[in-house]
């Protein structure tokens, strides 16, 4: 089936070459980091996780979001999702590839990475995160590939894929729950020390993942002869709508608890993000734009007339996707580290080189996504045409 | 076809079996000539031991001069890099500019409201505003960093010292997020250009690993007191928390003491007499 990926038109190859160039530049920037250490990043003694881990966290969500097409189709026999289920699964694969790359570029000693397997530590949440992330990646590759192959040969997928598909559902919930547990089980970080963190992660994931999927459907419609189906996209947009409202609701619950109880160890972080703390306010405009984008996107999706507008739908989805990225990617990680456990304020901003490496990882993910989507859409074109 | 592949398999399996049989014999031959390389535990008879090591810091006996002495003694002899140190450009050409926010420190002074942010008080007694509070790894009984480490590079010893294997650490910095006391530092860069004089008695670290206070485990093993204790002019005492007759238990019996963020349940082993 992979031979499909080497047959493409000019646009396809230009896009692939573009991605390869970005990957190349990112790799050079990473080589420099590899030899000189993480000193090239904006991270510090006080803010010891930055852009890499933030993007990792966000993309775990995008990967988990794929389950929002799997559940309706496989558990509720919702036929309209038949055409896009594979897109959700392949989006999960590409996102997970990026997640794993982000973990690797964040390590101080990447060559010792396998120590996690050599000395398995069941008390560490990172151990479980490794298990569920790799498990979910494996499941989605196998399921996506086998189901697509069956469709190409116009036969039923092998029976053993069914239990794997059912297994992939708790795994999707699992990857983001365990990723939240990385943060919310730490006693000294008041910002993350909240039981709502995992539900909030899931809600924002189930908004960001499907929102991105809708945008991808638009791109597929434009560049291929395969039509994912307007009705499927409309159903997806309702899922995005409910999920983003849940995310905002959970956030407001957090705001209430933090401000009404007024406990300083919890309040200072939110104060820093939303209003600034002791004159430090680098993230304030970002956070407000993020929440305004998520809120406005939610309103646009609630109103049926706007939701079913072909031009406005991708705009609303983009706003929600970017808003969720700011919330989780920028605020969630930095917010936990500022102020520090000693209540010193050290602000964080990624360096240019850090951003280039990040873009390189994204380009690698998009390369995987492009190839997988090329396979999926070509097979669907063949079958339907 | 089937028959042939089976015969082939048996043949390969047979060769493999010979190999398996040969291995112990070869090991035996090898061990005969060189002797088994067996690790020998060598315990110094003078080594200081405890059921659970703890530390008491009598803050009233500290001043800025002694505080500086303590930090220097610890940092210099543990090869902790000093980013203000002028780099020898002949030995380390191409050393890039320093980001002081990426500094490394094991023990340092803080003001009261930073060392004890949960005890911040508008009407704090005047003298507390000026006293230097030495902060370091608390060697917690329930150490969150030990729990977080995915490779057991950070672990609790039986005697309560929370210690690190610098060669196993993968630099994920999960322990730094887990530590409620900000006691851990990461080597964002190679620390060696910033060590004025390398102490051969303690390893230098490479870039990409976390480090922190080890309660001078290497000195206790030789029967010596930690560097900070020696430099503190009597302000810092270490001893066995589980032994009711120990010096530090006596100090804790006779003085009111506090610990950092006690409410978190990490059970710090460093006590402050205030």
Q: What is the pLDDT of residue B274?
A: 87
Which pLDDT does position B221 carry in this prediction? Answer: 94
Out of A45, A107, A336, closest to residue B172 by CB: A107
pTM equals 0.91
Collapsed DSSP state (helix, strand, coil) of residue B237: strand
Peptide bond into A339 cis (omega under 30): yes
| Residues B36-45 pLDDT 10s | 556 666 678 8
Candidates A103, A108, A193, partner chain B, best to mutate (most B CBs within 10 A) = A108
Which residue(s) pair with B54 in the sheet?
B239
Contact B184, B176 (CB under 8 A): yes
Residue A382 distance to chain B (closest CA, Å): 38
Verify whether the Cβ–Cβ distance B144 to A188 is below 8 Å.
Answer: yes
CA distance B124 to B245: 34
A2-384: CATH, from 3.40.640.10, 3.20.20.70, 2.40.50.140, 1.20.1630.10? 1.20.1630.10
Cα distance between residue A124 and residue A185, in whole Å: 10
Is B164 an 8 Å CB contact of chain A? no
Q: How far is B189 from chain A (nearest CA, A)?
A: 5
Closest CA of chain B from A356, distance in Å: 18
Q: Tell me the pLDDT band of B46, cut-offs 50, 70 and 90.
A: confident
Averaged pLDDT for residues B256-265: 95
Determine the distance in angstroms separating the CA of A48 from the nearest CA of chain B, rounded to an integer: 7
Q: Which helix (H) or strand (E) holds B185?
A: strand B185-186
Average pLDDT in the B61-80 region?
96
**3-state SS, residue B198:** coil
Collect all residues with Cβ–Cβ distance below 8 Å to A168 and sequence separation of at least 6. Answer: A67, A70, A136, A139, A140, A143
Q: Quick one: closest CA in B to A264, which residue? A: B118
Q: What b/e sequence results for B186-219 when a residue is b if at least 16 CB atoms lie within 10 Å of its CB, and e otherwise?
A: bbbbbbbbbbeeeeeeeebbbbbbbbbbbbbebb
pLDDT of residue B28: 47
d(CA A381, CA A226): 5
Note whether ipTM > 0.95 here. Answer: no
Most A CBs within 10 A among B80, B108, B112, B117, hence the mutation to make, goes to: B117
Q: Which of B146, B174, B180 sits opposite A341 (nearest CB)?
A: B180
Examine the pLDDT at B1 and tell me if it is beyond 50. Answer: no
**CATH ID of B53-273, from 3.80.30.20, 3.40.630.30, 3.40.50.11540, 3.30.70.20:** 3.30.70.20
Mean pLDDT across chain A, nearest whole number?
94
pLDDT in tens, A32-82: 999 999 999 999 999 999 999 999 999 999 999 989 999 999 999 999 998
**Rounded average pLDDT per 10-residue block, chain A, 385 residues:** 84 96 98 97 96 96 92 91 92 96 97 95 94 95 93 92 94 95 94 96 96 96 91 95 97 96 93 94 95 97 95 96 94 93 95 97 97 92 79
Is residue B145 within 8 angstroms of chain A, CB to CB?
no
* pLDDT of the residue at A22: 98
Where are the domains positioned within chain A? Answer: 2-384
Q: Which of A327, A19, A76, A65 is nearest to A215 (CA)?
A: A65
Cβ <8 Å between B117 and A123:
no
Across the interface, do A187 and B173 touch by the CB < 8 Å criterion? no
d(CA B57, CA A190): 27
How is chain B split into domains, by residue range?
A: 53-273
Residues 196-225 of B with CB under 8 A from A: 206-210
pLDDT reading at B92 higher than 50 = yes
């Amino acid at each position: 089936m992979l031979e499909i990926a080497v047959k493409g038109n000019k646009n396809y190859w230009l896009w692939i070459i573009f991605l390869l160039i970005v990957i190349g530049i990112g790799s050079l920037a990473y080589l420099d980091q590899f030899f000189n250490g993480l000193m090239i990043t904006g991270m510090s003694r006080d803010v010891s996780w930055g852009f890499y881990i933030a993007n990792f966290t966000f993309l775990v969500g995008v990967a988990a979001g794929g389950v929002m097409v799997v559940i309706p189709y496989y558990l509720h026999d919702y036929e309209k999702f038949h055409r896009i289920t594979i897109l959700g699964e392949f989006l999960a694969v590409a996102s997970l590839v990026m997640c794993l790359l982000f973990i690797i570029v964040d390590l101080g000693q990447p060559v010792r990475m396998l120590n996690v397997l050599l000395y398995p530590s069941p008390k560490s949440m990172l151990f479980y995160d490794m298990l569920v992330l790799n498990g979910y990646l494996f499941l989605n590759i196998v399921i996506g590939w086998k189901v697509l192959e069956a469709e190409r040969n116009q036969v039923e997928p092998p029976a053993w894929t069914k239990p794997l598909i059912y297994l992939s559902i708790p795994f999707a919930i699992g990857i983001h729950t365990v990723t939240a547990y990385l943060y919310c089980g730490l006693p000294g970080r008041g910002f993350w020390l909240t039981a709502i963190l995992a539900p909030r992660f899931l809600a924002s994931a189930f908004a960001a993942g499907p929102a991105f999927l809708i945008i991808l459907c638009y791109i597929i419609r434009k560049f291929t002869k395969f039509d994912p189906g307007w009705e499927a996209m409309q159903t997806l947009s309702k899922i995005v709508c409910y999920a983003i409202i849940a995310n905002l609701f959970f956030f407001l619950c957090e705001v209430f608890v933090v401000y009404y109880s007024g406990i300083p160890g919890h309040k200072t972080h939110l104060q820093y993000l939303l209003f600034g703390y002791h004159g430090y306010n680098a993230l304030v405009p970002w956070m407000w734009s993020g929440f305004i984008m998520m809120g406005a996107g939610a309103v646009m999706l609630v109103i049926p007339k706007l939701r079913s507008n072909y031009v406005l739908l991708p705009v609303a989805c983009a706003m929600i996707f970017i808003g969720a990225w700011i919330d989780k990617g920028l605020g969630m990680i930095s917010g936990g580290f500022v102020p520090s456990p000693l209540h010193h304020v050290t602000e964080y901003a990624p360096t240019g080189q850090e951003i280039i490496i990040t873009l390189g990882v994204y380009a690698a993910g998009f390369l995987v996504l492009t190839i997988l989507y090329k396979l999926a859409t070509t097979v669907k074109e063949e079958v339907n045409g | 076809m089937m028959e042939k592949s089976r015969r082939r398999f048996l043949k390969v399996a047979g060769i493999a079996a010979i190999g398996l049989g040969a291995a112990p014999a070869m090991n035996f031959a090898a061990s005969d000539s060189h002797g088994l390389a067996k690790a020998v535990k060598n315990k110094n008879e003078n080594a200081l031991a405890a059921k659970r090591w703890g530390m008491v810091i009598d803050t009233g006996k500290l001043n800025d001069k002694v505080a500086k002495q303590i930090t220097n003694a610890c940092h210099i002899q543990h090869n902790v890099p000093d980013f203000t140190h002028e780099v020898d450009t002949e030995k380390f050409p191409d050393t890039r500019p320093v980001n002081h926010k990426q500094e490394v420190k094991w023990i340092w002074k803080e003001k009261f409201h930073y060392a004890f942010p949960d005890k911040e008080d508008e009407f704090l007694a005047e003298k507390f505003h000026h006293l230097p509070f030495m902060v370091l790894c608390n060697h917690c009984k329930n150490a969150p960093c030990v729990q977080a480490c995915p490779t057991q590079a950070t672990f609790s010893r039986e005697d309560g010292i929370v210690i690190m294997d610098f060669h196993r650490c993968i630099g994920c910095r999960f322990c730094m997020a887990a530590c409620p006391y900000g006691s851990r530092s990461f080597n964002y860069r190679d620390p060696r250009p910033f060590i004025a004089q390398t102490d051969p008695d303690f390893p230098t670290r490479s870039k990409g690993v976390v480090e922190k206070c080890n309660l001078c485990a290497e000195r206790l093993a030789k029967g010596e007191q930690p560097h900070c204790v020696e430099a503190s002019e009597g302000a810092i005492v270490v001893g066995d928390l589980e032994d009711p007759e120990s010096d530090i238990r006596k100090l804790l019996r006779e003085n009111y003491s506090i610990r950092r963020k006690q409410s978190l349940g990490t059970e710090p082993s460093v006590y402050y007499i205030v």
